Structure 1
Amino acid sequence: MRVRNDIMRTLSDMHTVALATAGRLLHFELAVAYEIFGTPPREATGGWYDVLLCGPVPVRVGPFVVEPDHGLERLVSADTVIVPAYADIDDPPPPELIEAVRAAHESGARVASLCTGAFALGAAGLLDGRRATTHWAHTAELSARHPRAVVDPDVLYTDNGSVLTAAGKAAAVDLCLHLIHLDHGATIANTVARRLVTPPHRPGGQAQFVATPMQVTGDHVLADLLAWVQQRLDQPLTVPDMARRVNTSPRNLGRQFRAVTGQTPIQWLLTQRVRRAQELLEATDESIEAVALATGMGTATTLRRQFKRIVGVPPDSYRRSFHSAKPA
């Protein structure tokens, strides 16, 4: 079923994901999208995606040769179109790809770019007047080429409804998980994240670049703390409580958190509380007041304020959108 851009689709409509394979592509982003959307989890009992590779000719992607299933004209009838990253931003996207992406969006498709794929969306005019991002090393160039776009160099991804963009590499995973979250809910998105051995998707507003990138492995000072906090989200935790747990000062804990998550401890804690609230709103019929207590927010007023700030919609609206279609 094809619809206009201003009509919200139902989950049953969001089934065909077309990956645009034209030009010189980077293999990581293409492989990530194919893996995430092409492998249904057992828990997805309500259907999954039909993934198509669409391009005019076979293309070399890194050390591989990709044979498309369909021509670029197939993009126009897809529900979601994903443009992976380009190897060289000085090599313009093929004109036929630009036209196909524009036509797909005009026909009602949701169009997303991964990393430097944003340059193709910009060339198609889809970023005009919209927030967008790409790898932090190329955001200045994206802004220079497409001055009508609102380029944000400090976020992981942007979501304008029908047009989405992601920063580089790991942010492509975040955006793909975000799309699954929109279509199937937090439980299924988290299931896919676990299969990928990656944390549940990060919010798009999180910073791309951190001063000292590091993984939270078993011997990291935060590894035990993060698990400990996740098990106590219903309790009134404070930053001093968390610092005492790992025998450090609140200031040092703040440095550790910013290095690992790009957030302060309290920002991270609030985000975890809201993510837990999302799961409860999707999977239970508990009242907003009960969800607030179960997530440590205390009152429905506090939950509504923080939920709206982080998710973008009130918890009541979120439940109406996601509750009925999600398994308990």
Structure 2
Amino acid sequence: MTDRTPDRNPAGAAAASYRPLLFSIAYGMTGSVGDAEDLVQDAFLGMTKAQRAGTVIDAPKAYLTTAVTRLGINHLGSARVRRETYVGDWLPEPLVTHDDGPAGSPAEHAELTDALSMALLVLLEALSPMERAVFVLREVFGHDYPDIARSTGKTEANCRQIFARARRRIPADATARLPRERRAEGAELARRFFTAADGGDLDALLGMLAPDVVFHGDGGGKAQAISRTVHDPHQTAALLVAGFRRLRTLGATLRPAQVNGAPGIVLYDAEGRVLSVVELHLQDGTVGAIHSLTNPDKLTHLGPVSDQGLLPRFR
């Protein structure tokens, strides 16, 4: 296993201060915690090799940003092939933080976590690797076009065209962040929402769901999840009540969390192992989308993963 401890990295402790930014760029491009960490590590190793070969790097931040971006573009080519055969809905690996203690997640060290929402990352899947790189650098991180051109190897004019093309495919409100003064309201809505789901209160749930609510579930063909995206509030409410009823039979507990900067929960089984992560995308004081992850491969960075929800394997 690769040692990812910053102060042991041969690139030096000074450059390690850029890790939060580099991780966030890589995560924005891939939607994967593990892949993002690998890309950052590869970028550091590449810089170390260049320095040992005699290359003088006057701007390590720019060098590393370029390396991570280009590695990410190459990675997305193969990732797209894998996702074409993915079972069910694909959701990004969650970045989780808790107010009451460490989350065991790279989210604590990521920059602009609230800008990398589940909803945005799902939309970014529709972009080409180059479009995604340019969009993330420009829209999420606010890089200027000369920097984007350097990072991607394209001309400034080409980057402007690529961004305009990507911008037409991503709704403007997809990158909007919840104002800090409204986050307490969002947390309170989430508390009432999950209390209603846990208590089987269908009417209360329906009162908090947007008419056009969307319910996504990602089990990756390995864990129990809804078989297809649900667009009906009544069906969504019924599924939530049934799901939480089953969780009670397992002795599951829930812990409030921030998931990619949005309110959500982490569910644990009776032995304290992670069962799932649920994120709420809020819009106009209601729940506009629900993202539920049970795929064990996408939860391992949060701690030991439960086997309670795994699907049986047939040989």
- The verdict on a shared fold, with TM-score over 0.5 as the criterion, is no
- TM-score, length of structure 1 as denominator length: 0.29
Query: In proportion to residue count, which structure has more helix?
Result: 2
| Higher relative contact order, structure no. (Cα contacts within 8 Å, ≥ 6 residues apart) | 2
